[in-house]
Amino acid sequence: MEFKVIAEYFDKLEKISSRLQLTALLADLLSKTDKSVIDKVVYIIQGKLWPDFLGYPELGIGEKFLIKAISIATNTEEKEVESAFKIIGDLGEVARRLKSKQQSSSILGFLGSSKAESLKVDEVYSTLSKIALTIGEGSRDLKIRLLAGLLRKADPLEAKFLVRFVEGRLRVGIGDATVLDALALSFGGGQASSEIIERAYNLRADLGNIAKILAERGIEELKTLKPEPGIPIRPMLAERLSDPEEILKKVGGKALVDYKYDGERAQIHKKGDKIYIFSRRLENITSQYPDVIDYINSYIEGNDFIIEGEIVAVDPDSGEMRPFQELMHRKRKSDIHEAIKEYPVNVFLFDLMYYDNTDYTVKPLEIRRKMLESIVKPNDKIKIAHHIITDNVDTLMTFFYQAISEGAEGVMVKSINKDSIYQAGARGWLWIKFKRDYQSEMADTVDLVVVGAFYGKGKRGGKLSSLLMAAYNPATDTFESVCKVASGFSDEQLDELQKKLLEIKRETKHPRVNSKMIPDIWVEPVYVAEIMGAEITLSPLHTCCQDMIVRGAGLSVRFPRFIRWRDDKSPEDATTTNEILEMYNKQIKKKTDTSSSTENI
Ligand code: ATP
């Protein structure tokens, strides 16, 4: 397959403005793609060479070396490339123009033939992989040479997108859900197959792998797909409620109640003698936890399994649980062995999804838990999450306060009904989180996506200092604006913000963003921040749940305040518009309940 086909589609994708067109174009590209390279094409579309969970290196070519490669490939002085870059501001476009100039002055160009030999997807992919995997002494020169070789063979449009890819700027705004929809359109025979494809992707969060199976073996094959150790499962997520009685009712009366630990979620895979640990965001964090690997090897039985738990920092002297921030300190340390000593961790296991060729995601919680208990030799490093089974509100509350006093955030109340499967990739009522109440009407913080930014005034003049934040609507795969947040940033965070935002600046609104408010700059929807506010209110300025409560108004967070970045969440993991609606409805109910009880007094 020729790389030119992909470049031409990227060129078209850049110019469209709606999610629907995006999916249709993508479906068109995928149906024209050779089955043998469809996995690679899917990764390239997402601006990567392989799924993040593999933890392989990135290309490692900075701007300076990219300029060098363009200069070699187009026989242009480096200075000339640099000054063109200063004027145009986009290296991809610079490469395109230089290639066109070169082409029109060459004899081949004169004869009307663009180039002797066309670039194939396989060649592009294998050369780029080689560039990424070349490390150590002398690797820089080799990387530049390899890239220059590719660019030399590329036509102007191919060069533009190759350069953008290497820069990590090939963000044509395509999320996983868009690719899934496009796959359903091109191979699954339409929307009816969406559910099957989505289920497969939830069990194996590797879009390339799913695309390849679908293209080569068809939709039937996906129906029976099992999890595969080494490929992360999309995590099961919890709903939230703050009334214990309601919580027990919602899960069917009787529940398994776990401590809700304040650490890092870890999905632990064992495949023969290999162990992998994936984060909440499914990134490969194996190398950060050699101590956890030792615990798994020593205290868990089995050859192939996928289990889940929370890694929690503990006090090295007392063994008591420490807050999540301590784990962050550990991550910042460059010497991992020192970090292990200074910030030791415990692992609290709470689920088992796969064991020796058996898919446990389809089995009820109690069976999963029993199996987990049977393979773990608990000790002071690794154990099963502290839990009870109860149908009594008072018992639940006592356990909740005990959890908080021991440093947990609250409890996770889990259904033990016969249908209490592991709902990969879904947020549902089978798990309900019950956290300590905050000093505000809002029962919890929200995690929102930055979609634009505004310049400040006065002391903050000239600096981007407030952010337009959006919630995720999975039904439409779009980001709907919720609030403008201007407080809560430290000076340091504000400084860092400038660079962070300008790197992802866009000329126009992203096709997946839905906003009435027009910020000073639009950005790619990539960063997620945790936001606290006073309450959820109706607002005509925002599009979240637009018209759902009152015509002309959406929902917004009042007095929003930045708490911290949530780098462990992808934009699609942000709080959903539906959750905001639920939070709003809960508030209304609470207000009505309180006012009627005061009336009685
Ligand atoms: P979410 O993961 O629901 O999107 P979040 O990342 O903001 O939200 P929380 O609101 O803190 O996280 O609640 C869910 C998280 O709680 C899980 O992702 C997991 O990391 C953590 N957790 C701690 N203890 C448990 C437990 N016993 N069972 C399940 N999850 C637990």
Q: What is the CATH number of the domain that holds 66?
A: 1.10.3260.10
Look over the chain and give the mean of its residue pLDDT values, rounded to a whole number: 89
Residues 307 and 413 in one domain: yes
Q: In the listed set 401, 418, 438, which residue is the last one of a domain according to the structure?
A: 438
Residue of 473, 435, 498, 466 lying closest to 555 (CA atoms): 473
Q: Which residue minimizes the CA distance to atom 20 of ligand 1?
A: 265
pLDDT above 90 (res 260) = yes
Q: In the listed set 411, 438, 465, which residue is the last one of a domain according to the structure?
A: 438
pLDDT above 90 (res 335) = no
Give the pair of three-digit tokens for residue 161: 């997108």
Question: Domain range spanning residue 463?
Answer: 445-590
pLDDT above 80 (res 599) = no
Each residue's pLDDT tens digit, 443-458: 678 999 999 999 987 6
Cα–Cα dist 227/201, whole Å: 10
Window from 236-245, 260-269, 325-334, 586-595 with minimum mean pLDDT: 586-595
Is residue 107 situated within a structural domain? Answer: yes
ipTM: 0.95
Mean pLDDT, rounded, for 148-172: 89
Residue 37: the pLDDT is 94
Residues 376 and 467 in one domain: no
Q: Which sequence positions are flagged as catalytic?
A: 260
Cα–Cα dist 23/478, whole Å: 13
Cα–Cα dist 388/406, whole Å: 16
Residues 286 and 269 in one domain: yes
Q: What is the CATH number of the domain that holds 580?
A: 2.40.50.140
Q: How many domains does the chain have?
A: 3
Q: Can you state the angle between helices 38-45 and 207-217, rounded to 10 degrees?
A: 140
Name the 3-class secondary structure at 244: helix
Q: Which of 215-224, 298-307, 406-415 tops mean pLDDT?
A: 298-307
Is residue 33 situated within a structural domain? Answer: no
Is residue 22 situated within a structural domain? Answer: no
Residue 517: the pLDDT is 93
Give the position, in ligand 1's atom list, of the atom nearest the Cα of 447: 7
- Position 601: which residue type? I
Give the pair of three-digit tokens for residue 262: 């304040």
Residue 159: the pLDDT is 94
Beta carbon of 408 within 6 Å of any ligand 1 atom: no
Where does residue 541 rank: exposed (0-12), middle (13-18), buried (19+ CB within 10 A)?
middle
Each residue's pLDDT tens digit, 469-495: 999 999 999 999 999 998 889 888 989
Residue 228 Cα distances to 197, 210, 211, 511, angstroms: 16, 12, 16, 34
SS3 sequence of 314-333: ECCCCCCECCHHHHHHHHHC
Place 440 in a pLDDT band, splitting at 50, 70 and 90. Answer: very low
Is residue 182 situated within a structural domain? Answer: no
Most informative mutation of 239, 261, 444 for ligand 1 (most atoms within 8 A of CB): 261
Mean pLDDT, rounded, for 31-60: 91
Beta carbon of 238 within 6 Å of any ligand 1 atom: yes
Residues 373 and 257 in one domain: yes
Beta carbon of 383 within 6 Å of any ligand 1 atom: no
Most informative mutation of 242, 251, 260, 389 for ligand 1 (most atoms within 8 A of CB): 260
Q: What is the CATH number of the domain that holds 404?
A: 3.30.470.30
pLDDT above 90 (res 171) = no
Is residue 198 situated within a structural domain? Answer: no
Residue 439: the pLDDT is 37
CA atoms within 13 A on the CB side of 390: 20
Binding residues for ATP: 258, 265, 280, 310, 350, 427, 433
Residue 232: the pLDDT is 98
Residue 425: the pLDDT is 95
Q: Which residue minimizes the CA distance to atom 24 of ligand 1?
A: 260
Is residue 212 situated within a structural domain? Answer: no
- Degrees (nearest 5) of the Cα angle 99, 105, 111? 105
Residue 443: the pLDDT is 65
Residues 268 and 154 in one domain: no
pLDDT above 70 (res 384) = yes
Each residue's pLDDT tens digit, 338-370: 889 889 999 999 999 999 999 999 999 999 999
Residues 476 and 513 in one domain: yes
Residues 382 and 530 in one domain: no
Name the 3-class secondary structure at 302: coil
Mean pLDDT, rounded, for 229-253: 94
Residue with the bigger pLDDT between 33 and 596: it is 33
Is residue 64 situated within a structural domain? Answer: yes
Residues 55 and 100 in one domain: yes
Q: In the listed set 395, 414, 438, which residue is the last one of a domain according to the structure?
A: 438
Residue 112: the pLDDT is 46
Each residue's pLDDT tens digit, 400-417: 978 877 878 899 999 999
Residue of 216, 203, 208 lying closest to 180 (CA atoms): 208
Give the position, in ligand 1's atom list, of the atom nearest the Cα of 444: 10
Beta carbon of 265 within 6 Å of any ligand 1 atom: yes
Is residue 118 situated within a structural domain? Answer: yes
Each residue's pLDDT tens digit, 74-125: 999 999 999 999 988 889 999 999 998 887 776 555 444 444 578 999 999 9
Are 58 and 132 spatial neighbours (Cβ–Cβ below 8 Å)?
A: yes
Beta carbon of 412 within 6 Å of any ligand 1 atom: yes
Place 172 in a pLDDT band, splitting at 50, 70 and 90. Answer: low
Q: Which residue minimizes the CA distance to atom 31 of ligand 1?
A: 260
Place 459 in a pLDDT band, splitting at 50, 70 and 90. Answer: low
Looking at the DSSP bridge assignments, the partners of residue 513 are 479
Residue 295: the pLDDT is 97
Ligand 1 centroid – CA 258 distance (Å): 11
Residues 421 and 455 in one domain: no
Spatial CB neighbours of 27, under 8 Å, sequence gap ≥ 6: 181, 182, 183, 185, 186
Name the 3-class secondary structure at 274: strand
Place 441 in a pLDDT band, splitting at 50, 70 and 90. Answer: low
Residue 248: the pLDDT is 96
Residue 114: the pLDDT is 47
Cα–Cα dist 376/371, whole Å: 9
Each residue's pLDDT tens digit, 488-543: 898 889 899 998 999 899 989 999 999 999 999 999 999 999 999 878 888 888 99
Residue with the bigger pLDDT between 406 and 389: it is 389
Pairing mode, if any, of strands 478-485 and 513-514? parallel
Each residue's pLDDT tens digit, 128-146: 999 999 888 888 889 999 9
Residues 303 and 377 in one domain: yes
Residues 556 and 453 in one domain: yes
- Percentage above 90 pLDDT, the chain: 64
Mean pLDDT, rounded, for 236-246: 92
Residues 573 and 478 in one domain: yes
pLDDT above 90 (res 55) = no
Most informative mutation of 412, 413, 472, 532 for ligand 1 (most atoms within 8 A of CB): 412
pLDDT above 90 (res 594) = no
